[in-house]
């Protein structure tokens, strides 16, 4: 079963304006399946086969002759030498749009090649795993099951597949293929321990020194490994808001795992023990950050996301920046959140209103498990995870 992806509109629009498209993202998020469904008339070749990767790298002219445009090239990171020949092919007819669609797993590696060879000729998309609306439109399930099972398409194409089997295999494949290729890690065992230690800190401000101490390696090694996890789209760093409202603010990012299901697997959490887990709050926050991120990434939005924490430990989970205005959002697992849950958010909101900052305070949201959205007395809107794509519409209604 194929679950339609929200990115389809952006892909079909982009091929009308750019000669090359690049789609990156973690393994198993559905890049190949989605693009072959969206672009059925395109030829397809995967460089996962070593002989094809070698041909694309060493004899790209013959490779492109054998596989003419319009062409989807999968696992393109295995042939970095192909990029400059793609540039030559594109420059023969710059007005022929949608010639090549490139798929790759390692964002940093691909971006280096793009900057050197395809700048100005390419539209770039990062595909994440399924979002909640995509799943809900095709499958009847519960929010708790989505959180703990995760949002990789294969887990919803085959609902009989045990998630523990999927994630144990996913982790082993990831360590052996992506990690070894991006970085020469001396001990994969230490790297895997680092992943598990970071899992217990998802949704927290990143402190590399503490992680290094727990893993038993240098701070530099932790920094390198975090870069690998970012490059392979396993984690996302949420940067702090960069201007204060009269107080000193934290300058370190918060770390989140990209998929709540992988996070639950690493923490030993499942659908049955989720609500009793000490990690419940941070799992919920990680899941919501994913929904915020995926929703706005696919809408060509100018929205940016930040976190806020000041010297007095007053913090807000998410700051949503849009057109010179700031909205604030807090993650609460409760089905009946109340005004007590808005204290920190309201404090920061008032400080912004009373400051001389050029940024304007706009809305406040409690992202909760309420049965229906409703307003609180201080102008905060209680919303559900499935309401996240419609925050602007709700605000304007």
**What pLDDT, on a 0 to 100 scale, did the predictor assign at position 109?**
62
**What pLDDT, on a 0 to 100 scale, did the predictor assign at position 384?**
94
Mean pLDDT, residues 153-157 taken together = 96
pLDDT of 210 > 60? The answer is yes
pLDDT of 230 > 80? The answer is yes
pLDDT of 167 > 70? The answer is yes
pLDDT of 91 > 60? The answer is yes
How far apart are the C-alpha atoms of 156 and 216, rounded to whole Å?
A: 38
- Please write the tens of the pLDDT for every residue from 108-148: 566 676 767 787 888 989 999 999 999 999 999 999 999 99
Give Cα separations from 26 to 104, 115, 233, 236, 338 (angstroms).
9, 21, 5, 12, 37
Its pTM stands at 0.92
Task: Give the pairing of strands 254-257 and 71-74.
Answer: unpaired
Of 35 and 324, which is predicted with more confidence?
A: 35
Q: Which residue intervals of 92-207 are DSSP H helices?
A: 107-113, 132-138, 143-149, 153-157, 163-174, 180-182, 188-199
- Identify the CATH assignment for 8-126 out of 1.10.357.10, 3.40.50.300, 3.40.190.80, 3.40.640.10: 3.40.50.300
Mean pLDDT, residues 169-185 taken together = 77
How far apart are the C-alpha atoms of 269 and 88, rounded to whole Å?
A: 51
pLDDT band at 176 (very low <50, low <70, confident <90, very high): confident
**What pLDDT, on a 0 to 100 scale, did the predictor assign at position 115?**
65
- How many helices and strands (H and E) does the chain possess? 18, 14
pLDDT of 211 > 90? The answer is yes
Mean pLDDT score across all residues of the chain: 90
Q: 277, 269 in Cβ contact below 8 A?
A: yes
| CA-wise closest residue to 74 among 139, 23, 3, 145 | 23
pLDDT band at 248 (very low <50, low <70, confident <90, very high): low
**What pLDDT, on a 0 to 100 scale, did the predictor assign at position 93?**
85
How far apart are the C-alpha atoms of 34 and 3, rounded to whole Å?
A: 9
Mean pLDDT, residues 330-337 taken together = 94
Domain limits, the chain: 8-126, 131-397
pLDDT of 280 > 70? The answer is yes
Per DSSP, 336 falls in state: S
Burial environment of residue 384 by CB neighbours within 10 A (0 to 12, 13 to 18, 19 or more): middle
């Amino acid at each position: 079963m194929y679950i339609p992806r929200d990115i389809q509109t952006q892909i079909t629009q982009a091929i009308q304006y750019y000669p090359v498209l690049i789609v990156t993202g973690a393994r198993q998020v559905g890049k190949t399946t989605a693009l072959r469904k969206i672009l059925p008339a395109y030829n397809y070749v995967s460089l996962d086969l070593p002989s094809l990767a070698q041909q694309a790298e060493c004899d790209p002219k013959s490779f492109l002759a054998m596989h003419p445009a319009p062409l989807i090239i999968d696992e393109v990171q295995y042939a970095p030498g192909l990029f400059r020949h793609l540039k030559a092919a594109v420059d023969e007819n710059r007005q022929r749009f949608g010639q090549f669609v490139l798929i790759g797993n390692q964002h940093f590696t691909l971006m280096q090649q793009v900057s050197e060879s395809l700048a100005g000729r390419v539209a770039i998309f990062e595909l994440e795993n399924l979002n909640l609306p995509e799943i809900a439109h095709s499958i009847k399930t519960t929010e708790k099951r989505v959180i703990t099972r995760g949002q990789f398409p294969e887990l919803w194409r085959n609902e009989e597949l045990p998630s523990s089997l999927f994630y144990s295999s996913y982790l082993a494949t990831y360590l052996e293929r992506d990690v070894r290729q991006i970085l020469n890690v001396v001990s994969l065992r230490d790297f895997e321990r680092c992943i598990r230690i970071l899992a217990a800190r998802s949704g927290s401000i990143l402190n590399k020194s503490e992680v290094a101490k727990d893993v038993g390696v240098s701070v530099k090694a932790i920094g390198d490994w975090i870069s690998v996890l970012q490059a392979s789209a396993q984690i996302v760093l949420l940067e702090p808001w960069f201007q204060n409202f009269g107080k000193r603010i934290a300058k370190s990012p918060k770390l989140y795992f990209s998929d709540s299901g992988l996070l639950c697997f690493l923490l030993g959490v499942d659908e049955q023990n989720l609500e009793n887990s000490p990690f419940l709050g941070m799992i919920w926050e990680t899941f919501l950050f994913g929904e915020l991120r995926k929703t706005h990434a696919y809408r060509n939005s100018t929205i940016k996301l930040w976190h806020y924490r000041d010297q007095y430990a007053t913090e807000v989970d998410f700051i949503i920046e849009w057109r010179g205005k700031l909205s604030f959002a807090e993650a609460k697992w409760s089905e009946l959140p109340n005004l007590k849950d808005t204290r920190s958010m309201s404090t920061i909101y008032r400080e912004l209103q009373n400051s001389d900052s050029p940024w304007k305070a706009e809305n406040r949201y409690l992202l909760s498990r309420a049965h229906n959205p409703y307003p609180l007395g201080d102008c905060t809107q209680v919303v559900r995870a499935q309401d996240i794509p419609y925050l602007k519409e709700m605000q304007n209604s």
